[in-house]
């Protein structure tokens, strides 16, 4: 009888540990998605800053350079937002920002699709 209680105790402990590690894994995935999303936002903000500098620059040639740098930052942001969505496919903010980035680099069809995906998760999201 004592052996049965010991075995049951071990099984309960094992099950508890298994469920707690699964929960931790989900938390880690969510944390990683948020980290990637924030990285995408940082690239997007950097691109906006580069454009602002280009808009205020006196030298016309600098504008082409700033546009190219901004485009690279938007493309980096797109990669980060896509990676975030792989981990958290219902992150409407990431879809919205993908729409913004695609619009800024002239990919209007992809922009529209991603804006619509954001609205699919929350029709009031604007």
CA distance 70 to 38: 17
Q: 43 Cβ partners below 8 Å, 6+ apart?
A: 73, 74, 76, 77, 80
Q: What is the pLDDT along the chain (126 residues), one digit of tens a residue?
A: 444 333 333 433 344 434 444 445 556 778 888 888 888 888 888 877 776 655 544 444 455 556 667 888 889 989 988 999 898 899 999 999 999 989 999 999 999 999 999 999 999 986
pLDDT at 98: 92
Nearest alpha carbon to residue 103 among 124, 69, 68, 78: 78
pLDDT at 12: 36
pLDDT at 25: 56
Tokens standing for residue 23: 């929960």
Other C-beta atoms lying within 10 Å of the C-beta of residue 62: 13
Rg over CA atoms, the chain: 23
Domains and CATH numbers, the chain: 2-121 (1.25.40.10)
Instruction: Give how far Cα 117 sits from Cα of 39, 83, 94, 95, 100, Å.
Output: 21, 16, 10, 6, 13
* Residue pointed to by tokens 């729409």: 99
Cβ proximity of 44 and 73 under 8 Å: yes
């Amino acid at each position: 009888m004592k052996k049965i209680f010991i075995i049951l105790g071990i099984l309960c402990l094992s099950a508890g540990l298994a469920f707690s590690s699964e929960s931790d894994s989900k938390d880690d995935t969510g944390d990683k998605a948020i980290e990637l999303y924030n990285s995408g936002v940082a690239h997007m903000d950097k691109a906006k800053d580069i454009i602002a500098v280009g808009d205020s620059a006196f030298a016309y040639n600098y504008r082409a350079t700033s546009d190219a740098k901004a485009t690279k930052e938007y493309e980096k942001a797109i990669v980060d937002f896509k990676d975030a969505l792989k981990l958290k496919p219902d992150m409407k903010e990431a879809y919205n920002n993908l729409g913004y980035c695609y619009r800024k680099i002239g990919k209007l069809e992809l922009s529209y699709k991603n804006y619509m995906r954001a609205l699919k998760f929350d029709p009031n999201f604007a």
